[in-house]
Amino acid sequence: MAAHVVAVIDDFQQKSLDTIAQCLPKDWVLRITASNSAGDVQSAMAQADIVFLMGKAVTAPMVQASQKLRFIQKLGAGVDNIDLQACKSQGVVVAKLHGGNAVPVAEHTLLMTLATLRRLPQLDRDTRAGLWVRERARTVSRQLSGKTVGIVGFGAIGRAYARLLRGFDAKVNYFDIVEAPPSLCRELNATHMDFDALLSTADIVSVHTPLTEATRHRFGAREFALMKPSAVFINCARGGIVDEVALLEALKRNVIHGAGIDVFAQEPTPQSTAFFTLDNCVVTPHTAGGTVDNFEHVVKRAIDNVQRLDQGQALPEGDRVV
């Protein structure tokens, strides 16, 4: 009998599924969904005691119908797509990978920062269309060097982003409900600030908080009005943290210079969304943490967490949620 049956319920590409299969211990069984339908997802879960997931939601009915389920491992950091109360009621342990995607997300945040400051998609599109807009670009493109970056949420990802910024001669301010150790602040040249003060002084505001009831719509019309007209807003965290109607208005009315958005409240986002029509907005499909280089590391950490539970060991600090 297999030591574990692992259900992978996201619609992964075959290359990612192959990576998972190659990493699993030989006596574990992998179950994948025949399609992305609710029925096929539930069928895969019904056979499993372990679930690995990335973006797929796990609802209370799904947990209650999975009688063998004992452990859910999120292959990332955010667990807002999992019904934690249902898991607790059913005795299902839930874990995330604290800092597991910190480096690729931080790199993507830097990518979005530069692309938004320079309005890269507009330049690319115009150049491909035969429009040589060098002088027009000179009037709107902005550089990162010498700017003040405000980081909201100074956990693993926020700190990794700050570490990358050291090469750009940028000043880093951060807001977090827990202040970072003084030694780390010195290393990253980062200063803790009040939330409103951070918004009003930053040239770039980047958010790296989880989505909770406390952070839902944390950024709305009031917050965008506090920011400089020349500032850009970057969100590689969760879409629900932002009031998207307020952000759309701020971009349309040039309340802020631009925005780089990797996450939306609804995903996949309808193609008709007005964000896609704006030249001062850079969008990507919730792909900040997704690199081929990091995925094997993520899978191995998930397997290690299962094995720790098997042996009665505590999970790494920050991983266990329920």
pLDDT tens, residue by residue, 190-241: 999 999 999 999 999 999 999 999 999 999 999 999 999 999 999 999 999 9
The answer on pLDDT for 1 being more than 60 is no
Q: 34 pLDDT band (50/70/90 cuts)?
A: confident
Distance CA 265, CA 247 (A): 12
Q: What is the mean pLDDT of residues 247-264?
A: 98
What's the pLDDT at 317? 92
Place of tokens 């009005």: 225
Average pLDDT in the chain: 96
Per-residue pLDDT reduced to its tens digit, 106-119: 999 999 999 999 99
The answer on pLDDT for 284 being more than 70 is yes
The answer on pLDDT for 136 being more than 90 is no
Active site residues: 238, 267, 286
What's the pLDDT at 288? 97
Surface-to-core class of residue 53, CB atoms within 10 Å of its CB (0-12 exposed, 13-18 middle, 19+ buried): buried
* CA-closest candidate to residue 188, choices 153, 155, 164: 164
Q: What is the DSSP letter of 34?
A: S
Long-range contacts of 251-257 (CB under 8 A, 24+ apart): 251/275, 251/278, 251/280, 251/281, 252/278, 254/229, 254/280, 255/224, 255/225, 255/227, 255/229, 256/224, 256/227, 256/228, 256/229, 256/231, 256/232, 257/116, 257/117, 257/142, 257/229, 257/230, 257/231, 257/232
Per-residue pLDDT reduced to its tens digit, 38-78: 999 999 999 999 999 999 999 999 999 999 999 999 999 99
What's the pLDDT at 295? 96
- The hierarchical CATH code for the domain 102-283 is 3.40.50.720
Distance CA 50, CA 106 (A): 29
The answer on pLDDT for 271 being more than 90 is no
What's the pLDDT at 258? 98
Percent of the chain with pLDDT over 90: 93
Torsion-angle region of 61 (φ positive above 0: left; ψ -120 to 50: alpha; else: beta): alpha
Global confidence as pTM? 0.93
* CA-closest candidate to residue 289, choices 124, 153, 111, 117: 111
What's the pLDDT at 99? 92
Architecture of domain 5-100+291-310: 3-Layer(aba) Sandwich (3.40)
The answer on pLDDT for 93 being more than 70 is yes
The token pair at 310 is: 């098997």
Crossing angle, helix 102-118 and helix 292-310, to 10 degrees? 150
Domains in the chain: boundaries: 5-100+291-310, 102-283
Percent of the chain with pLDDT over 70: 99
What's the pLDDT at 36? 82
What's the pLDDT at 45? 96
Q: 35 pLDDT band (50/70/90 cuts)?
A: confident
* CA-closest candidate to residue 179, choices 170, 167, 191: 191
* CA-closest candidate to residue 279, choices 133, 110, 107: 133
